[in-house]
Chain A
């Protein structure tokens, strides 16, 4: 495959873009910066397409491309290699494709920001690290990308760094990710310790020799999953993602919905060979996935910030993906990752378009009736809502349905919980849609005066994403319909080794179709409740100082998890830190460090005082030294 030899360019071009933009800085205007940034991602996208088509048509499904020897020390040898296979090529398409659309959109969104050059430099750098993450053929390269995207996420959440709250959100994201990253790197160490290598092919080949459920496998997979919890915002490490909405909206779409947060899903799908050997870990993943899906959905019910609703929705949808992975349905997890990338990027960008139109207002209680005023944003938002709610034939239906079926096969109880989450999803998304676009306008006159549909540089990406949200599901038509599930077939080589170890979906087609009917009914129930509340009865969520009591209050305040973390972890840590400063720092560290300085100074004075300048003294000293040396050696 000729094109594989150019795979390094896919990653290099965005890096060059980032370096160029970083070095040029304000020497280029916003338009050129946007052009450089978008063109570099477009070039990568074209290459990714070429690679995708040649993998699709080739009989060989996996290409390992050696770039250079990276780390060589003792028995550890880490090459800088790229792995091209169905999984990475799908990820490449999502990252560069959705990434390119968001780059284009960003120009319209950030046009008047004075830091636009910096913005595009960060975005390109992010794309580079994300590509590294999915392209590496070993855990070290993946970890490099993993840390890099974390850095870019931090930089972009705190992009408007003059606002202290935004900086705090950036720090929170970074620190919570560090907790996950620690788990991930420990997992990688354990892999090296167990298998003597961290290259996927060697590790997976060696893993075949381990029995299912061995404790070392459980340890490795759990540690890696801790990394995924941090990056992909699962319970208990999810609280950073809603706060990450402090960043510009395109960032939320690209990093905190479509790509980076799905890195955990990719990592587990990539390590499927290890995970199927640890049934315990798989159960944990399903459980956490389902809990996160439900928990985040209940929070989303009462939020009034348009981006916060979408953020909790993202956490919830990531929960769906993990539920699939835990059920051993790796392909379904990846399928939902792809469709979610389409419709969630669409929803975020459409929300950005609304915020743009409302001059920065994000509270849906101040919106309403925007349907006619935003003739393009409204239909695309509607498409996104239908897609995420799981109404056929839009993308979300197929992928979500697959996940529900797999979880049902695993455990009917978890299925019910996930079904509830699915109904809630439909409700809160239509609630968001109705409150934003229907009813009467509730905002200020000032905002009304500036109201305008976004420029075409923003709406065209929206339309492309809307198209993908409509059609994206067709890459995985259900086999119960007698259709051919293309994505499963395409990804099959990646999951070949593990396919024998997980139970294949053994539901009869009738059961599957029944489950589908349930899912559809659930989506419509959610829609109906939202309709009756917000259109028929024309309700508007209460103001902050007038909130209903009870469960509503609990959900509105996000179950007080942030406050809990603050009390249980942050405050005690502060206390320890303060006492460490008071005692350790002042008495122990300062004193010992100072005493080293004092010893040096005294030695220095001694050395200087010996240097009397009197030659007689010098020679006397020399003679004494020689005598001492001779005596000492017993001569």
Chain B
């Protein structure tokens, strides 16, 4: 809750800086505000307080996701803050609001708040995707994202309406309680509501067959905004998905899990296979994010005591690696801009630190031990095996095998292919970001308990 207030204040402050002539302190102020929000949010640990007549609840899981969102936001500002020159105040304001929306999405305990959070985040993203107004691709991305996004929002609202019609409640606890007495409810209507909400959330996390927007939007949007989408938006959508389905619809898991299984397998297959032939880095990462959405769905399907921790660990590992890879993509993009995998050629010589960070990130995404990505997959698969989803895990492993190809292609390009000899320098902030992210990727791989022990308490 503290985080929400600070983020909203930061957004309003950012809007005012143009008028007040404080543009110079905007960047440091944002960093301070985000760190402050992390601290303030941490203070709420263990209190389990409800706000807005119980429409939001800061339980421990919510706080952990909030912290992760704020950390991702902080890293994003450090990576991208200096490269945003045009419309600086608008960027800062809108992205602060987007973060606030993301925080609402991981803290909600009422469907209305969920809807509000999703819309705050999504509308900010529609705008930001088109923020390079003079570029055709950016405009195209924004329009596609907006059209399909509003389409799926329609389904979300439709689903919420059906649920409300059946259960008479917007509260997750109320819905869960109503589902416990199934005989009184029109069953088809309830299931239709759940499935409609499910499809729209699958759209938000870019799962098959609602993933079509992702490759086009990831590639068309500015690098910085893609980085935000791949990290913050992904965290918020996945966390909200798990929160809603575990809190409200957990008792009818038998009825929606098979549909979600097919979606998960489809996402892993289409995502991983789609990435194989891509030359554009962001497009490849878009397909890879589709695949990762598939992996994360395994946790929602499983829905046991291991899966909550496994999902948090997976998202954390995924976010760290994604932020690290975008830090390098953005840095290289500033030098030569076509954004292809081949543009990384020779990076090992041109900028060894960046190449090392990117290598660690790619290895972690591919799930190579001892990096955190390996244990992320291990915990997730382990949770699924507890519930006897052997074939789901087999499909996931097959997908992972495919993914090794395209992740290693990046490493191959950086370290083996010959490219320009010209050095690329790092600013001190970039060095810090790269070191922090690589260190965390390794540290969580060696000592996963650092994070896992939090979620059990």
Chain A residues packing against B (C-beta within 8 Å): 600-601, 603-608, 610-611, 613, 615, 618-619, 621-622, 625-626, 629-630, 632-635
- Judge whether B192 and A630 touch: CB under 8 Å: yes
Q: Mind listing 6 A-B residue pairs with CB under 8 Å?
A: A607-B270, A610-B270, A611-B212, A622-B148, A629-B199, A633-B191
Known: A618-B212, A635-B195. A629 touches B259 (CB 8 A): yes
The CA-CA distance from A633 to B203 in the complex, in Å, is 19
- Judge whether B199 and A603 touch: CB under 8 Å: no
B143, B155, B209 interface centre (most CB from chain A within 10 Å): B209
The CA-CA distance from A2 to B188 in the complex, in Å, is 77
The CA-CA distance from A86 to B276 in the complex, in Å, is 63
B contact face: mostly helix, strand, loop, or mixed: helix
Give the number of A-B contacts (CB < 8 Å): 73
- Judge whether A619 and B151 touch: CB under 8 Å: yes
Other-chain residue from A606, A626, A632 in contact with B273 (beta carbon distance below 8 A): A606
Query: Given the complex, which residues of A lie within 8 Å of B215, measured CB to CB?
Result: 611
Known: A610-B212, A611-B215. 4 other contacts (CB 8 A): A607-B273, A615-B143, A622-B152, A625-B210
The CA-CA distance from A613 to B277 in the complex, in Å, is 16
- Judge whether B277 and A622 touch: CB under 8 Å: no
Other-chain residue from A608, A615, A629, A632 in contact with B277 (beta carbon distance below 8 A): A608
In the complex, what's the smallest C-beta–C-beta distance from A490 to chain B, in angstroms?
45
The CA-CA distance from A619 to B148 in the complex, in Å, is 7
Please give the number of chain B residues whose Cβ is less than 8 angstroms from any Cβ of chain A in the complex: 34
- Judge whether B210 and A635 touch: CB under 8 Å: no
Q: Would you call B196 an interface residue if the criterion is a C-beta within 8 Å of the partner chain's C-beta atoms?
A: yes
Query: Given the complex, which residues of A lie within 8 Å of B188, measured CB to CB?
Result: 634-635
- Judge whether B148 and A604 touch: CB under 8 Å: no
The CA-CA distance from A610 to B143 in the complex, in Å, is 19
Which A-chain residue is minimally distant from B214 (CB atoms)?
A: A611
Other-chain residue from B192, B269, B271, B402 in contact with A635 (beta carbon distance below 8 A): B192
Query: Given the complex, which residues of B lie within 8 Å of A604, measured CB to CB?
Result: 273-277
In the complex, what's the smallest C-beta–C-beta distance from A635 to chain B, in angstroms?
5
- Smallest CB-CB A-B distances: 4 pairs: A607-B274, A603-B273, A618-B212, A604-B276
Query: Given the complex, which residues of B lie within 8 Å of A619, measured CB to CB?
Result: 147-148, 151
- Judge whether B276 and A622 touch: CB under 8 Å: no
- Judge whether A622 and B273 touch: CB under 8 Å: no
- Judge whether A600 and B276 touch: CB under 8 Å: yes
Query: Given the complex, which residues of B lie within 8 Å of A634, measured CB to CB?
Result: 188
- Judge whether B209 and A601 touch: CB under 8 Å: no
- Judge whether B276 and A625 touch: CB under 8 Å: no
- Judge whether B151 and A622 touch: CB under 8 Å: yes
Q: Would you call B449 an interface residue if the criterion is a C-beta within 8 Å of the partner chain's C-beta atoms?
A: no
The CA-CA distance from A413 to B205 in the complex, in Å, is 83
Which A-chain residue is minimally distant from B212 (CB atoms)?
A: A618
Query: Given the complex, which residues of B lie within 8 Å of A603, measured CB to CB?
Result: 269-270, 273
- Judge whether A605 and B216 touch: CB under 8 Å: no
Q: Would you call B255 an interface residue if the criterion is a C-beta within 8 Å of the partner chain's C-beta atoms?
A: yes
The CA-CA distance from A604 to B403 in the complex, in Å, is 12
- Judge whether B287 and A607 touch: CB under 8 Å: yes
In the complex, what's the smallest C-beta–C-beta distance from A316 to chain B, in angstroms?
48
The CA-CA distance from A524 to B144 in the complex, in Å, is 102
The CA-CA distance from A632 to B209 in the complex, in Å, is 15
- Judge whether A625 and B192 touch: CB under 8 Å: no
Which B-chain residue is minimally distant from A628 (CB atoms)?
A: B209
Query: Given the complex, which residues of A lie within 8 Å of B259, measured CB to CB?
Result: 629, 632-633
Contact with A along B152-196 (1 / 0, CB 8 A): 100100000000000000000000000000000000100110011
- Judge whether B195 and A622 touch: CB under 8 Å: no
Query: Given the complex, which residues of B lie within 8 Å of A607, measured CB to CB?
Result: 270-271, 273-274, 287
The CA-CA distance from A625 to B270 in the complex, in Å, is 15
Contact with A along B195-236 (1 / 0, CB 8 A): 110010001000001101101100000000000000000000
The CA-CA distance from A626 to B259 in the complex, in Å, is 11
Query: Given the complex, which residues of A lie within 8 Å of B287, measured CB to CB?
Result: 607
- Judge whether A618 and B195 touch: CB under 8 Å: no
- Judge whether A626 and B196 touch: CB under 8 Å: yes
Query: Given the complex, which residues of A lie within 8 Å of B274, measured CB to CB?
Result: 604, 607-608, 611
Query: Given the complex, which residues of B lie within 8 Å of A635, measured CB to CB?
Result: 188, 191-192, 195
In the complex, what's the smallest C-beta–C-beta distance from A254 to chain B, in angstroms?
36
The CA-CA distance from A610 to B148 in the complex, in Å, is 16
In the complex, what's the smallest C-beta–C-beta distance from B85 to chain A, in angstroms?
30
Query: Given the complex, which residues of B lie within 8 Å of A629, measured CB to CB?
Result: 195, 199, 259
Which B-chain residue is minimally distant from A632 (CB atoms)?
A: B259
- Judge whether B144 and A615 touch: CB under 8 Å: yes
Query: Given the complex, which residues of A lie within 8 Å of B255, measured CB to CB?
Result: 633
Known: A615-B147, A625-B210. A600 touches B270 (CB 8 A): no
Other-chain residue from B195, B209, B277 in contact with A633 (beta carbon distance below 8 A): B195
The CA-CA distance from A70 to B422 in the complex, in Å, is 47
Contact with A along B291-318 (1 / 0, CB 8 A): 0000000000000000000000000000
Known: A600-B402, A633-B191. A626 touches B276 (CB 8 A): no
- Judge whether B199 and A626 touch: CB under 8 Å: yes
The CA-CA distance from A633 to B187 in the complex, in Å, is 11
Other-chain residue from A613, A615, A621 in contact with B209 (beta carbon distance below 8 A): A621
Known: A600-B402, A622-B209. A615 touches B148 (CB 8 A): yes
The CA-CA distance from A606 to B276 in the complex, in Å, is 11
In the complex, what's the smallest C-beta–C-beta distance from A579 to chain B, in angstroms?
30
In the complex, what's the smallest C-beta–C-beta distance from A541 to chain B, in angstroms?
57
Query: Given the complex, which residues of B lie within 8 Å of A606, measured CB to CB?
Result: 273
Query: Given the complex, which residues of A lie within 8 Å of B269, measured CB to CB?
Result: 603
Query: Given the complex, which residues of A lie within 8 Å of B195, measured CB to CB?
Result: 629-630, 633, 635
The CA-CA distance from A607 to B274 in the complex, in Å, is 5
B221-274 CB contacts (< 8 Å) to partner A: 255, 259, 269-271, 273-274
